[in-house]
Amino acid sequence: MKKFQQFLSQLTAGFTPIIDTKFERQDYGLIDLSINQSINLEHKPVQKTQAFINQFLKQTNKTIAFGGYLEQRDLYKRSPHFTNNLRDIHIGLDIWCPANTAVISPLDAVVHSFKDNHDLGDYGPTIILQHDFEAETFYTLYGHLSRKSLENLQVGQPITKASVFAEIGSAEVNGSYAPHLHFQIIRDIGDRFGDFPGVCSKAKLKHFSNNCPDPNLLLKIY
């Protein structure tokens, strides 16, 4: 596992954006959306989450909020998609930014799969890219996209490093969340197509954290 982490870290030399490059490293602020925060999401969860993010950005003088890797959250309690399996530990990294923000690939890739995971609390439109580097193959997942992002997409389609290939979706299509990008690294995807767990239970945390290492190894935001 440590060797794979080192391999990932060596693929990028510094800050590597996966959203519109007009946002620079200093525009990003690390936000805490864990169970330690008292955000009551029982009513109007999208509006309350967005209000919390807006307040954070104003207080920190930042433009983009990010974070959430291995963060235990209350955000998922509203959806049986998670509560039926008691999953509440986030295993990707979220970048909270406006709907329609461009999404770009951090590396050369091909489209592995895509799907509209439209259940409440799910990813909504999702794209998974495959990255091949000599003896290593791994995947990156992009969730909460717009439906437009899936139009005219083809499995095996080449995606060039730093090119725009998708955009952030609105709450109406992204699983009912404040607009953001869920970015996740996956080493072994198995037979999954257009979907992969982005939240896990405490009992399965060791497995998922090994298979889905910290996205910041590639992005180097902090």
Give tens-digit pLDDT for 73-90. 877 666 565 555 667 899
Q: Is the C-alpha dihedral spanning 55, 174, 87, 187 positive or negative?
A: negative
**pLDDT tens track for 7-53:** 999 999 999 999 999 999 999 999 999 988 767 665 678 998 999 99
Q: Which domains does the chain have, with CATH numbers?
A: 2-219 (2.70.70.10)
**pLDDT tens track for 140-198:** 999 999 999 999 999 999 999 999 999 999 999 999 999 999 999 999 999 999 999 99
- pLDDT at position 88, please? 86
- pLDDT at position 134, please? 80
143 closest CA partner among 208, 201, 197: 197
- pLDDT at position 37, please? 77
- pLDDT at position 62, please? 98
Q: 29 near 64, Cβ under 8 Å?
A: yes
Examine the pLDDT at 57 and tell me if it is beyond 90.
yes
- pLDDT at position 36, please? 83
Residue whose structure tokens are 């953001």: 180
142 closest CA partner among 183, 189, 173: 183
Residue whose structure tokens are 């996209």: 145
Model-level pTM? 0.94
- pLDDT at position 2, please? 85
**pLDDT tens track for 128-148:** 999 999 889 999 999 999 999
